[in-house]
Amino acid sequence: MPTRPPSMGYPATLSEVARLAGVSLPTASKAMNGRGDVAAATRKRVLDAAEQIGFTPNQLARSLLVGRSGTVGLLTSDLEGRFVLPILMGAEDAFGAGQVNVFLCDARGDHIREQHHLKALLNRRVDGIIVVGRQTDPRPSLGHDLPVPVVYAYAPSDDPDDLSLTPDNEAGSRLAVEHLIACGRSRIAHITGDPSYAAAQDRVRGVQQALAAAGLELHGEAMFSEWSERWGRDAAAVLLDRHPEVDAIACGSDQIARGVLDTLRDLGRLVPDDVAVVGYDNWEVLTTNARPELTSIDANLQQLGREAALALFRAMDSSQPEPKGVQYKPVRLVIRGSTIAHR
Amino acid sequence: MPTRPPSMGYPATLSEVARLAGVSLPTASKAMNGRGDVAAATRKRVLDAAEQIGFTPNQLARSLLVGRSGTVGLLTSDLEGRFVLPILMGAEDAFGAGQVNVFLCDARGDHIREQHHLKALLNRRVDGIIVVGRQTDPRPSLGHDLPVPVVYAYAPSDDPDDLSLTPDNEAGSRLAVEHLIACGRSRIAHITGDPSYAAAQDRVRGVQQALAAAGLELHGEAMFSEWSERWGRDAAAVLLDRHPEVDAIACGSDQIARGVLDTLRDLGRLVPDDVAVVGYDNWEVLTTNARPELTSIDANLQQLGREAALALFRAMDSSQPEPKGVQYKPVRLVIRGSTIAHR
DNA sequence: AAACTCCTCGAAACCCTTTTCGCAGAACCT
DNA sequence: AGGTTCTGCGAAAAGGGTTTCGAGGAGTTT
């Protein structure tokens, strides 16, 4: 009696292929995988048989045997955030090209859930893990007693022995302010978001570095509150009341910049003629629909995700000690109408 | 000689646990899984041993044996879109609670890539697949010769024998217009996006149903172009030039509504006093930062994802014929300041 | 014709876990 | 004391594939 009802069980097995082709099971395996030691005619018979009954190799069995699953875990702290998705896309893209599939786990900011997902991933014998955070603030390490390599993206690990990839926020706002200065501005203000975010602090630092390098000073204090359009509007109103001479505003996010643009418009200040504005994040929905379109800093998040995937690949393959620590990845300036008229 | 160098191989196996606990392998298995037939003392010995060497059960082996992997595939046509993510979250959430893990595959709108991912998922023996599209236009079915159940979310399958869950766009804009009428508006216009989208057509139909039910007519033609703020601005300018009497505008998206709000402000029309505005999608970043905040239609996408997961669950468990066809899921109205003053 | 090489193929072991089934021994009954 | 019922545990098979190694046959050489 056959172990499986013939011609009905959907996932045909290799032994059925072998039987149909009139060869032994190992020969069928070799034929399917292009290993040597199989005559051309035999190989063809096997391939035809496989085709005929719609054989699909069972990855579970293969993985079990060879000791690697060809899967990785993508552990996000929060899917909601706008920054996670591009990283996800980049990573999925890079892995997809290498026959690796991605388990998506969303811990929703909960440590317990994160541990639970981590355990599930290890049980499934993933070959590696990418941890994606929603902020650039350091996050607790998963630890080093894991049987697989881990790469942290966006939110770096707080353990310097881990490998973390995060955008260079300091360089980003430096770039923005250097651009403003190159545009002939000298009375530059900075409106940004929640001061408890490392991103806010890093970007302020970048602004000040660029100003100092040009022998300039910030006009007014850096203004912190929340990452919202509303705050951008309010802050700009206050700023222009106190410092009407300002001729450029570097913003901590595109949302804030959108609010700033609104207030400038309300006050009759022309952008970029009277005041130049630069955002941060290059969130296209916001930047390309602004009036005028918004110059911004793009963190190349998709590229970041791709690089995280590649770093993990290397760590998986070689199991040699990969370079460690936090790598700050370059960002780029995208110039639009809010800093240069007529584009 | 042990098959594995002792106390080094990271993934400890059950047989090592058994050896350490001084029992046979099957007994260890029973002890770990809480099956009967194991004395309490023995069970404790086994659990202690497992704890000691950090045993994690190999899901690959278990899956291979029991014939289901406890994984599902999430096949998206495009991760970029704003609508896919909430659905993803809902689905991942629902599955996560049920010990099921999710393979994320992004076909990026490419049919070839989709087929490639589908094959990979089947090779990995997923127990089911959710297909998430980025538009509500029907999409080609994956077919019925698949060994696992499939549920389509957002973009319905073009095959009525498939199960599809999609938001009820017609009801959505009906809801929006009924709300405008309830607010005392009667001279209502409609500005929407790309006419090649089913969403645009469905929403126009809903608008007209609600108007007809109240004995009203649309002011001006429905205005189609693209789903952007820019178009919202331009369309509103044209509309108010030709039909200055308009007292409410139902928009096909929040982005369009934001543009409409901008133009109304430029023209000195008060919102909602002179003109009420309602958006669509309830994209919080846009709605809650608008001036005034934007009333909108929420498609409950996270809930949609969760329901898709549950439907797939049922189909996987029972393998009974699930209900088929396209299910239109209810949407809800979120009222904010753009239709009612003072909230 | 014998010896040798090369090429194809199959037997068997292995990956890790679950499950069925039967075997002992202990406890219970009469 | 002898028979019966539990109880706790282990031997073996199963799940689907890969790999090593050896066997047999054909072709080549001396």
Return the ∠ at Cα B250 (arms to A267 and B291), rounded to 5°.
25
What is the model's pLDDT at position A7? 35
Q: How many CB atoms sit inside 10 A of residue B336's CB? A: 19
**Could you report the per-residue pLDDT of B177-218, keeping only the tens digit for each?**
999 999 999 999 999 999 999 999 999 999 999 999 999 999
What is the rounded CA–CA span in Å between residue A56 and residue A52?
11
What is the model's pLDDT at position B309? 96
Q: Is the pLDDT of residue A295 over 70?
A: yes
Q: How far is the CA of A64 from the C1' of D6 (A)?
A: 39
Mean model confidence pLDDT for chain B:
92
Q: Which amino acid would we find at residue B123?
A: N
Q: Measured from the CB, is A47 under 7 Å from any atom of strand C?
A: no
- Least Cα separation, residue A209 to chain B (angstroms): 31
Mean pLDDT value across residues B142-171: 96
Map out the domains of chain A with their CATH numbers: 14-57 (1.10.260.40), 70-167+301-329 (3.40.50.2300), 169-298 (3.40.50.2300)
Q: How far is the CA of A29 from the C1' of C10 (A)?
A: 12
Mean model confidence pLDDT for chain A:
92
Q: How far is the CA of A324 from the C1' of D3 (A)?
A: 73
What is the rounded CA–CA span in Å between residue B303 and residue B296?
17
Phi, psi of A217 (to 5 degrees): -130, 155
Q: How far is the CA of B62 from the C1' of C13 (A)?
A: 20
Q: Measured from the CB, is B65 under 7 Å from any atom of strand C?
A: yes
Length of chain A: 343
Residues A101, B121: C-beta atoms closer than 8 Å = yes
Return the ∠ at Cα B106 (arms to B101 and B112), rounded to 5°.
125
Q: Nearest nt (C1') to A64 (CA)?
A: C15
Under the banding of pLDDT at 50, 70 and 90, the label for residue A8 is very low
Secondary structure E strands in B33-182: 71-76, 101-106, 129-132, 150-153, 163-167
What is the model's pLDDT at position B5? 37
What is the rounded CA–CA span in Å between residue A144 and residue B30?
31
For A84, which residue in chain B has the nearest alpha carbon? B85
For A59, which residue in chain B has the nearest alpha carbon? B124
Which residue from A60, A80, A82 is facing B125, i.e. has the nearest CB? A60
List of residues 6+ apart from A29 with CB closer than 8 A: A14, A35
**Could you report the per-residue pLDDT of A106-127, keeping only the tens digit for each?**
999 999 999 999 999 999 999 9
Under the banding of pLDDT at 50, 70 and 90, the label for residue B1 is very low
Mark which residues 171-200 of B lie under 8 Å from A by CB.
Answer: none
Q: Is the pLDDT of residue B319 over 80?
A: no
With a pLDDT cut of 70, the percent of chain B lying above it is: 95
Mark which residues 60-79 of B lie under 8 Å from A by CB.
Answer: 60-61, 63-64, 69, 71, 74, 79
List of residues 6+ apart from A30 with CB closer than 8 A: A36, A37, A38
**Could you report the per-residue pLDDT of B223-280, keeping only the tens digit for each?**
999 999 999 999 999 999 999 999 999 999 999 999 999 999 999 999 999 999 999 9
Q: Is the pLDDT of residue B2 over 50?
A: no
Mark which residues 287-316 of A lie under 8 Å from B by CB.
Answer: 289, 291
- Chain B CB contacts of A261 under 8 Å are none
Q: Is the pLDDT of residue A301 over 60?
A: yes
Which residue from B60, B82, B108 is facing A69, i.e. has the nearest CB? B60
Residues B105, A88: C-beta atoms closer than 8 Å = no
**B198 CB-side CA count, 13 A:** 16
Contact A262, A275 (CB under 8 A): no
Strand D, nucleotides covered by protein (CB < 7 Å): 7-12, 14-21
Supply B264's token pair.
């109304």
Q: Measured from the CB, is B26 under 7 Å from any atom of strand C?
A: yes
Q: Is the pLDDT of residue B8 over 50?
A: no
Coil, helix or strand for B337? coil
Residues B101, A106: C-beta atoms closer than 8 Å = no
What is the rounded CA–CA span in Å between residue A12 and residue A20?
11
With a pLDDT cut of 90, the percent of chain A lying above it is: 79
Q: How many CB atoms sit inside 10 A of residue B146's CB? A: 15
What is the rounded CA–CA span in Å between residue B168 and residue A17?
47
Residues B85, A79: C-beta atoms closer than 8 Å = yes
Contact B132, B309 (CB under 8 A): no
C-alpha torsion B46→B50→B56→B57, nearest 10: -10
Q: Which residue has the tokens 């595939």?
A: B73
Contact A207, A218 (CB under 8 A): yes
- Chain A CB contacts of B120 under 8 Å are 99, 101
Mark which residues 215-254 of A lie under 8 Å from B by CB.
Answer: 228-230, 233
Residues B124, A101: C-beta atoms closer than 8 Å = yes
**A302 CB-side CA count, 13 A:** 9
What is the rounded CA–CA span in Å between residue B289 and residue B187?
26
With a pLDDT cut of 70, the percent of chain A lying above it is: 95
**Could you report the per-residue pLDDT of A219-256, keeping only the tens digit for each?**
999 999 999 999 999 999 999 999 999 999 999 999 99
What is the model's pLDDT at position B10? 54
Q: Nearest nt (C1') to A4 (CA)?
A: D15
Residue in A108, A86, A97, A80 with CA at minimum distance from that of residue A154 = A86
What is the rounded CA–CA span in Å between residue B177 and residue B181?
6
What is the rounded CA–CA span in Å between residue A157 and residue A153?
9
For A107, which residue in chain B has the nearest alpha carbon? B93
What is the model's pLDDT at position A9? 42
Is A117's Cβ below 8 Å from some Cβ in B? Answer: yes
Q: How far apart are the first and last CA of chain B?
A: 77
Q: Is the pLDDT of residue B102 over 50?
A: yes
What is the rounded CA–CA span in Å between residue A228 and residue A238?
16
Q: Measured from the CB, is B45 under 7 Å from any atom of strand C?
A: no
Under the banding of pLDDT at 50, 70 and 90, the label for residue A6 is very low
For B95, which residue in chain A has the nearest alpha carbon? A105
**A41 CB-side CA count, 13 A:** 1
What is the rounded CA–CA span in Å between residue B126 and residue B121?
6
Mean pLDDT value across residues A272-285: 97
Mean pLDDT value across residues A155-165: 96
Which residues does nucleic strand D approach, with CB less than 7 A? A 3-4, 11, 13-15, 25-26, 29-30, 32-33, 35, 37, 55-58, 61-62, 64-66; B 23-27, 36-39, 41-42, 61, 64-65, 67
- Least Cα separation, residue A8 to chain B (angstroms): 11
Q: How far is the CA of B117 from the C1' of D14 (A)?
A: 30
Q: How far is the CA of A26 from the C1' of D16 (A)?
A: 12
Residues A101, B89: C-beta atoms closer than 8 Å = no
What is the model's pLDDT at position A78? 87
For A60, which residue in chain B has the nearest alpha carbon? B60
**Could you report the per-residue pLDDT of B285-308, keeping only the tens digit for each?**
999 999 999 999 999 999 999 999
3-state secondary structure chain A: CCCCCCCCCCCCCHHHHHHHHCCCHHHHHHHHCCCCCCCHHHHHHHHHHHHHHCCCCCHHHHHHHHCCCCEEEEEECCCCCCCHHHHHHHHHHHHHHCCCEEEEEECCCCHHHHHHHHHHHHHCCCCEEEEECCCCCCECCCCCCCCCCEEEECCCECCCCCEEEEECHHHHHHHHHHHHHHCCCCCEEEECCCCCCHHHHHHHHHHHHHHHHCCCCCCCCCECCCCCHHHHHHHHHHHHHHCCCCCEEEECCHHHHHHHHHHHHHCCCCCCCCCEEECCCCCHHHHCCCCCCCEEEECCHHHHHHHHHHHHHHHHHHCCCCCCEEEEECCEEECCCCCCCCC
- B59, B102, B336: which to substitute to probe chain A, counting the most A Cβ within 10 Å? B59
Give me the residues paired with residue A166 across strands. Answer: A328
The protein residue nearest C15 (Cα–C1') is A65
For A94, which residue in chain B has the nearest alpha carbon? B106
Segment holding B229, helix H or strand E: helix B229-242
Mean pLDDT value across residues A199-216: 97
**Could you report the per-residue pLDDT of A20-67, keeping only the tens digit for each?**
888 889 899 989 988 767 888 888 999 999 998 889 999 999 999 998
- Chain A CB contacts of B262 under 8 Å are 291
A233-258 core/surface letters (b: 16 or more CB in 10 A; e: else): bbbbbebbeeeeebbbbbbbbbbbbb
Length of chain B: 343
Supply A240's token pair.
């222009």
Contact A103, B101 (CB under 8 A): yes
Q: Is the pLDDT of residue A11 over 90?
A: no
Give me the residues paired with residue B152 across strands. Answer: B131, B164
Contact B176, B278 (CB under 8 A): yes
Mark which residues 134-163 of A lie under 8 Å from B by CB.
Answer: 147
Supply A1's token pair.
């009696």
